[in-house]
Each structure stands twice: as structure tokens, then as C-alpha cells.
Amino acid sequence: MATLSPPHLDTADALAEQVIAWRRHLHARPELAWEEHGTSGFVAETLAAIGAGAFVITRPTATSVMARLTGRGAGAGRTIALRADMDALPIHEENDVAYRSQVDGKMHACGHDGHTAMLLGVARSLVATRDQWAGEVRFLFQHAEEQSPGGAEEMVQAGVMDGVDAVAGVHLWAGLEYGQIGVLAGPMMAAPDNFFITVRGSGGHAAQPHLCVDPIAIGAQLVTTLQHIVARRVDPLDPAVVTVTYFRGGTTTNVIPDSAELWGTVRTFDPTLRANARTWIEQMTKGVCEAHDATYEFRWLDGYRPVVNDPAVATRLQDVIRREFGDQWLADMRPSMGGEDFSAFQQKAPGAFAFVGAGHAASGIVHPHHHPRFQIDERALSIGVRYLTAAARELLMR
């Protein structure tokens, strides 16, 4: 476990240094979805150390943590939840830093180490000022965001959102430069559904394709056909993505295989379009395969619901950004077609998700999320702490 500084840090700079240290500790010790035993243990131990008995700490699932903190200020206050995700990705890190991953093939390549460290920082800040606010804050350290069906739904089923009046979360965002925070009123992130297709033909010698039903040629036609969904089936004003990300078939140069596999993802916001996309993909698969005397297997995996920020909560948090940082910090941004299971918490209480700018082109921090050289501008960590702390104080009020 990382060395802890005294329970109450005297300055914002000292807290910022501690959050960076927590983040680097976690970055070096990545754990995949549903495997976050060390991470969740570190979180629980750290909360106990900084809270001096103030937190009620529970384990809603085997690898998640919830800490409840009650304010001692005047008035009743509300109950709010703040969420951070903790899992890493199956990626081998290529960064040459002292705190690089110590686990081959696993890496915090999406910023979840930073999210966890930031929420610990918020917990430290709020416990030190609990005489100044009333109500209850629930700190949700969530497992398994990266892998559907996701850990958020499991935590919700465990009751972590029961009685919660509002929920907030953040994502360090490489696509935003440091010095920007984005909160949209309405759609923020898309529903990330997945499809899996197996084309079954009849293999044989590559020199005699007329005697075969070639699943690779059929699959290639299917890849092209699927692009017509967004290009010709979807209203140009409705955001949608259909992407084939995996195409595998065959073993050598002179053999036509019996089958080929295609996997892909669909990203939408609108529930009707989401349902239609599934129907269209299977229809097109059926049509292309039947036209060439092939058969197919089709499987669809529902992803997370879209993240749709409550307009009233989002507007209040936009005001927090202006008040805490200045008008120039509020990013003029568009929704992302990425997915996030923060949406599960939003089914139980109105909430808003924010992007905290963590890119910095001048320093070479330009690689996208899920890249082996992904990094963040660590100055963004203190910004996330400051934003979430102010957001909590705002949402605790009626």
C-alpha cells in the first residue's frame, strides 16, 4: 500500500501531490474487470486511514467499495452519489515512466486509475470540511466498467443508489486539452452494442472457387453492405456508428475455408434507432448469405444504455464550472460515441457525467484512450478533485 500523508492535508498543493501518488500507485498495479481485489482493498484501506472513522465503508460486490459520509452542518441536506471506476485493460503498456504497469499485458489505458485517485481526494476534502455541509455523500468505487454487462448495474442491484437524490461522475478525457471541462445537458455518450456474425460456406481449393461457397468473399461483401446502414438507412441528423472491427477466416493461401467470422459495434443514442440497427444488420446478413448459398449465425450483445445527462443537474454543474474555474473552462463540446455504464446510476437518480480535459499536445500527451501509450496530464487530477468537490457541495443543497 502507498504511504499515506497525515489525515488532514494543510494545502491544496499537498492534496494534489497525494492524488498523483495514489494514481501512480494504482497505475503500476492494474487489474482487469471483476479482478480488482488489490485495487478495491487499497481503496478501502485508504478511506479508513483518511477518514478516522468518519466513513461507513461497505463492499457491495466482491471488488467494489462504497463509503458513506454524513455532514455535520446545519439543515437536513440531501443524499448524493459520486462515482469512480477502477478497472484496467488487457493492453501491454509502452510508456517509459517510473510508475509504468508492473503487470505484463495489463494497463490503465483509459484513466480509471486517475478517477479512483480523484475520488479519494474528494473524500479527503469533504471529510475535512464536513462541519460545513449537511446531508450524505456516497462514494462509489466501481468495478468492471470496461466489460459488459458492467459493474455499475451490479452495484445498483446491490442497493447503492437507494435513496440517492442526484449522482455525478467524471472521466479524464484525452480528447480535451487540459484547462477544459465538458458537461452536456442531454445525450453525452452512446449505447455501445456489439454484434457477432459467422458466415458458413463450403471450403475447397483456392484454384477452384466455382466449386466452393467462399465465406471470405461473402464476408467482404457484408462488410461493405453494412456501411449502407448509416449512409442510407439513418437520418443524417441522427448520430450512429456501425463498425466492423474483426474479420477472421482461413489458414493459408491455397485453401478457401468453410467459415469466416465478423465482429463489430453499433453506437446510437435513440432507442428506436438502436432497435432498428439490430434488425437491419441481421436482415442484411441474411440477404447477403442467401444470395450466395451460404448460411450464417448471428448474435447481438446489448451494451450499456446511453449516458443522458439530466438537463437540470447538468445546468447546475455548468454553473459550478463557471463559478469555480471561469467561463473559459467550460468546454464547447459534442457528445461522444463512446459508451459508459455510468448510465446505470442515472436510471435511479438524476445525474450528470463530465469530461475533464487531460490531453496536452505540447507535452506529447496526445494518444487516445485504449492506446498502449495513453497518458494523462496529471494536472488534471487536481482539477477533477476540485470540480467533484464543488459539484458535491452544489448537489447537496436543495
Would you name the residues annotated as active-site residues? 87, 145
Strand residue runs (E) in 88-221: 135-142, 166-177, 181-182, 186-189, 191-200, 204-205
The DSSP-derived string for 354-366 is EEEEEEBGGGTB-
Which helix (H) or strand (E) element contains residue 315?
Answer: helix 311-324
Q: How many CA atoms lie within 13 A of 78 on its CB side?
A: 16
Q: How many CA atoms lie within 13 A of 267 on its CB side?
A: 15
Which helix (H) or strand (E) element contains residue 14?
Answer: helix 12-27
Report the DSSP beta bridge partners of residue 194. Answer: 265, 301
Q: Which residue bears the cell 456501425?
A: 242
> What is the C-alpha to C-alpha distance for residues 370 and 40, in angstroms, rounded to an integer?
22
The DSSP-derived string for 268-312 is ES-HHHHHHHHHHHHHHHHHHHHHTT-EEEEEEE--PPPEEE-HH
Beta pairing, strands 295-301 & 191-200? antiparallel
The rounded radius of gyration (Å) of the Cα atoms in the chain is 24
The DSSP-derived string for 180-201 is -EE--SEEEE-EEEEEEEEEE-
